[in-house]
Amino acid sequence: MSSTTNYESCQTWQEIAAEHRKSLQFPAGTISDDPQLSEWSQKANLDYTNPSNTRPGPSLSTLLQNDSTRRIWSSELDAVLDGLDATGIVELTRSGKAKVQDVVQHFLSRASIVHQATNCLSHFFAEDAIRRAKDLDDKRATLEAEGRLDELGQLFGLPMSIKGHMSYGRHGSQRGFVFDVLPDPSSHPLVRRNLATKQVELLASTQGRYVSENPVDSSIAKLLLENDAVIIGKTTMPQGVMHLDTTNNLYGQTLNPHNLALSPGGSSGGESALVAGGGSAMGVGSDIGGSIRQPCGVTGLYGIRPTTQRLPYGGVRSTMPGNEGVGSSLGPMAKSMRDVELFMSSLMNDRTRPWEWDHTVLPMPWRKVDGLLHGGRNESKPIVVGVMMEDGVARPTTPVRRALSKWVDKLSAFAAQSGTDLPRIELRRWNPRDLHRRAWDIIRSLYFMDSGKMFALLSKATGEPLLPLTQFILSEPYVRSATADLDADAASSADARKLDEMSYTESCANIRAREAFRKEFLQAWNERGLDCLLCPVMCSTAPRPGTIKYWGYTSVFNLVDYPGVVFPSGFKADAEVDGEFEDAEADGGQFGYARRDGWMSDFDKDNTEEYEQHRQVFDGAPVGLQLIGRRYKDEELVKYAELLQHIAGST
């Protein structure tokens, strides 16, 4: 993003957004002339309506046959790179079997195609990435001549992407608000016209500038660069980074490359679309309520939401600065479980030592834990796997029930075997009782203890509207109305602020409720003797844009700060097959689904009716599953996930 972009003459938020979008430039040779490639994205962005109510959209893979598109998509490395995960790519670049410049160009071309279909990029660094790739090739040649190839970074030459609110150089960072892209919002005529002086000062002191006069790298970007990765772009997020969808007034709607009628999830939906579409070898997302796990789950990716403070958070632009009611984590979004471990071990070790220069991270290197696929576990004690079929708030739709039921069948059959070389497992049903229902109430109250005032001010600053899913997450009774505090005349009134914002005593009460819940949750976990918990990653497959409101399958674990790994189940939504499953679905049983007897909640009703009224639209949507572990046992959790995937045979 150039700081010379002319925003000062923009009179409306629409003009600012249009001016900003001009900064997203792609090399001419990477733009397809096939109108079908961008047809669904254009349809989705006409007026933020769903691109389809009756049929699935095409997958990106079916749109690659056009001559123009195929020329851009293809390269001499196709036969080498296609099917490789990030770990395999790094093996090629570190060994010298592939030049970094060629690998980066391969992904840059594909990233452009993925963006044209899904609208997933907020920044594209083609020229910078090629320059860095050349420097890395030169670095390798020098180190090889000196016999020091062991000094190459663990992510050497890997084309990667990062979420849009992570600072990188002079490229700016955004959180899906139009306000974010103004180089100096406190001086912009539109902002000064819409806000009172004290409100402008509040935003200027807490929200930061989009463009820094000096290059600023977030801690995560710094670690990627130290490990010789190549950052090729930054990706879209929803307005305010608080949707399980990816729509904002800056860039519009992002779509799912598996089915362009659907969302790629959120808030790391730009990352999931780009990585799943093949435009980036690995991405970095953030997760405060499910924003790594849900997008990975609905696009067929692997990911981890680590325990908080395992990875450094410095330089990530927050929408709720200073609010520590719920911690956010950064983590990888990848094509394999070994990529997840490559990422974590590369960034958290005694060489990088991020805890010595970033106060947001704990001094906990990624530990090497023995794998479980070759007997790396005490044979006398089984691995106890909890199974949560539903959370008592919203019943999963049929594709999710089918996938989880098939997994449980395979795991149960394995648990009944004897004489296997693999560790024994024992399945135990997790009955959520009212825990997950109460968790949703508690975490909603913790997200916006300022009554959503900051969101409302960011919106009013440019006049951009709050989108429906933003309005939902800010809705009462969990978030009090901040209307009085937005009135310019009332902005200096202490009485007006007291009416809306939580008092210190109330905020402390919310934190006490969180801590009491964590204690209760741990006790329930220990009573079941669980090592890990298998459950859905959300109550549906990839949603149609703008329709997903319930986060409870992921946010409960943010509340208690348990790490979570997500992986493909190997199943996809299929209206015909799902109908057959419903006809044969057993009633009850230890791990079965009881026949429905009324709605569990409004979320349950809305979720089920959305699926039943549009079930054909979801065809082809991947179903991900989620495995949860104990706090700070992230390393063991990855090994449990590897074992369960091996047993279920869905790799």
Single residue among 453, 476, 507 that ends a domain in this structure: 507
pLDDT in tens, 252-292: 999 999 999 999 999 999 999 999 999 999 999 999 999 99
DSSP E strands, 420-552: 425-429, 532-536
Residue range 565-573: average pLDDT? 98
Single residue among 507, 532, 554 that ends a domain in this structure: 507
Is residue 310 one of the residues assigned to a domain?
yes
Residues 415 and 496 reside in one and the same domain: no
pLDDT over 90 percentage in the chain = 82
Token pair of 574 as six digits: 């299929």
Residue range 360-381: average pLDDT? 85
Residue range 359-372: average pLDDT? 96
- List b or e across 425-453, with b for residues whose CB sees 16 or more CB atoms inside 10 angstroms: bebeebebeebbbbbbebbbbbbbbbbbb
Residue range 565-572: average pLDDT? 98
The tokens 């790298």 sit on which residue? 217
Q: Is the pLDDT at 387 greater than 60, yes or no?
A: yes
Question: pLDDT-based confidence at 480, cuts 50/70/90?
Answer: confident
Residues 243 and 150 reside in one and the same domain: yes
Is residue 17 one of the residues assigned to a domain?
no
Question: pLDDT-based confidence at 299, cuts 50/70/90?
Answer: very high
Whether 291 sits among the annotated catalytic residues: the reply is: yes
Residues 268 and 221 reside in one and the same domain: yes
Q: Is the pLDDT at 491 greater than 50, yes or no?
A: no
Residues 498 and 610 reside in one and the same domain: no
Q: Is the pLDDT at 598 greater than 50, yes or no?
A: yes
Residues in a beta bridge with 162: 234, 284
Residues 476 and 601 reside in one and the same domain: no
Q: What is the pLDDT of residue 378?
A: 57
Residue range 489-503: average pLDDT? 51
pLDDT in tens, 348-364: 999 999 999 999 999 99
Catalytic residue among 122, 173, 291, 451: 291
Q: What gap in Å lies between CA 651 and CA 643, rounded to an integer?
A: 11
Whether 212 sits among the annotated catalytic residues: the reply is: no
Residue with more model confidence, 594 or 198: 198
Residue range 383-397: average pLDDT? 97
Is residue 415 one of the residues assigned to a domain?
yes
Residues 416 and 287 reside in one and the same domain: no
Q: What is the pLDDT of residue 501?
A: 78
Cβ neighbours for 614, distance < 8 A, ≥ 6 positions apart: 53, 54, 544
What is the extent of the structural domain holding 388? 383-439+522-648
Q: Is the pLDDT at 163 greater than 70, yes or no?
A: yes
Give every strand in the sheet of 121-124, ordered side by side. Answer: 121-124, 230-235, 159-163, 282-287, 329-334, 302-305, 564-572, 622-629, 532-536, 383-387, 425-429
Distance, C-alpha 321 to centroid of its chain: 19
Is residue 222 one of the residues assigned to a domain?
yes
Question: pLDDT-based confidence at 492, cuts 50/70/90?
Answer: very low
Strands 329-334 vs 383-387: parallel, antiparallel or unpaired: unpaired
Is residue 283 one of the residues assigned to a domain?
yes
**Measured CA angle at 285 (ends 233, 337), to 5 deg:** 105
Residues 429 and 453 reside in one and the same domain: no
Average pLDDT, the chain: 93
Question: pLDDT-based confidence at 379, cuts 50/70/90?
Answer: low
| 3-state class (DSSP) for residue 166 | strand
For the chain, the residue count is 651
Is residue 361 one of the residues assigned to a domain?
no
Is residue 53 one of the residues assigned to a domain?
no
Q: What is the pLDDT of residue 490?
A: 45
| 3-state class (DSSP) for residue 221 | helix
**Tell me, what amino acid is at 190?**
L
Q: Is the pLDDT at 213 greater than 90, yes or no?
A: no
Asked if 529 and 384 count as a contact pair (C-beta separation under 8 A), the reply is: yes
Q: What gap in Å lies between CA 525 and CA 545, rounded to an integer?
A: 35
Question: pLDDT-based confidence at 380, cuts 50/70/90?
Answer: confident
Residue range 389-394: average pLDDT? 97
Question: pLDDT-based confidence at 376, cuts 50/70/90?
Answer: low
pLDDT in tens, 522-545: 999 999 999 999 999 999 999 999
Catalytic residue among 163, 335, 549, 572: 163
Whether 498 sits among the annotated catalytic residues: the reply is: no
Is residue 425 one of the residues assigned to a domain?
yes
Q: What gap in Å lies between CA 268 and CA 23, rounded to an integer?
A: 21
* DSSP H stretches of helix in 487-567: 494-500, 504-528, 552-560
Cβ neighbours for 460, distance < 8 A, ≥ 6 positions apart: 194, 195, 486
- Per residue, the 3-state secondary structure of 232-263, as one string, reads EEEECCCHHHCCCCCEECCCEECCECCECCCC
Residues 556 and 413 reside in one and the same domain: yes
Residues 310 and 458 reside in one and the same domain: no
Residues 538 and 635 reside in one and the same domain: yes
Residue with more model confidence, 526 or 487: 526
Question: Poorest-confidence range of 42-56, 121-135, 155-169, 219-233?
Answer: 42-56
Q: Is the pLDDT at 5 greater than 80, yes or no?
A: no
Single residue among 507, 536, 557 that ends a domain in this structure: 507
Element containing residue 60 per DSSP (H, E) = none
Residues 488 and 424 reside in one and the same domain: no
**Tell me, what amino acid is at 90?**
V
Residues 559 and 582 reside in one and the same domain: yes
Q: Is the pLDDT at 321 greater than 60, yes or no?
A: yes
Asked if 254 and 236 count as a contact pair (C-beta separation under 8 A), the reply is: yes
pTM of structure? 0.96
Question: pLDDT-based confidence at 488, cuts 50/70/90?
Answer: very low
pLDDT over 70 percentage in the chain = 94
Q: What gap in Å lies between CA 176 and CA 198, rounded to an integer?
A: 23
Catalytic residue among 122, 161, 219, 267: 267
Tell me, what CATH number does 72's domain have?
A: 3.90.1300.10
Number of domains in the chain: 3
Q: What gap in Å lies between CA 480 and CA 595, rounded to an integer?
A: 38
Q: What is the pLDDT of residue 50?
A: 85
